[in-house]
Structure 1
Amino acid sequence: MRSGTSVPGAEGLLAEICRHALIEGDFVLSSGRRSPYYVDKYRFETRPELLEVLGQRIAAVAREVEPQAARLAAPELGAVAL
């Protein structure tokens, strides 16, 4: 996923995020429930090449939904577009 390559589809992006950030084990979630999976966002958000593709996908989806949109806004916490 180098700069200049075509933007992968959602499945390709998900596979890359999982490859870098999905951890399998026994995890206690903040709700108290247990999960065999944990996604460590810091493992992919420190990879510029992956963030570039993620940003391209966000922009592509935004253009599909609202072709005339010029800006993307999100709440500062919980939905910060990286």
Structure 2
Amino acid sequence: MELSFSRYIYQHRDSAGRILGMSISKSIQEEHPELNSQYLEDFDMYMVLLLLKKKYKASAAYLMTNSKLFLDYHQKSTSISLNNIGHKN
């Protein structure tokens, strides 16, 4: 997954704050050939939101797991290095 400004979702709302629809980037539309437009309403809008939520939730879980592994490793190696300060081999 790559985050960039070429992938976006923009909600269109009325003056009362109700969601009218949403616009998606061309790159998101190209991933879903069943979509005929970059402007979505009703079922298509919710379908894309659910698909993207699932995709980004899985990506976020992957990043969190790997970040935790990295931080755990870094914390242990830092702890070992700090424990060895002042000790001569």
TM-score over 0.5 for the pair: no
- Higher helix proportion (structure 1 or 2): 2
Which structure has the bigger radius of gyration? 2
TM-score, structure 1 as length reference: 0.31
Q: Which has the higher contact order (CA 8 A, sep 6+)?
A: 1
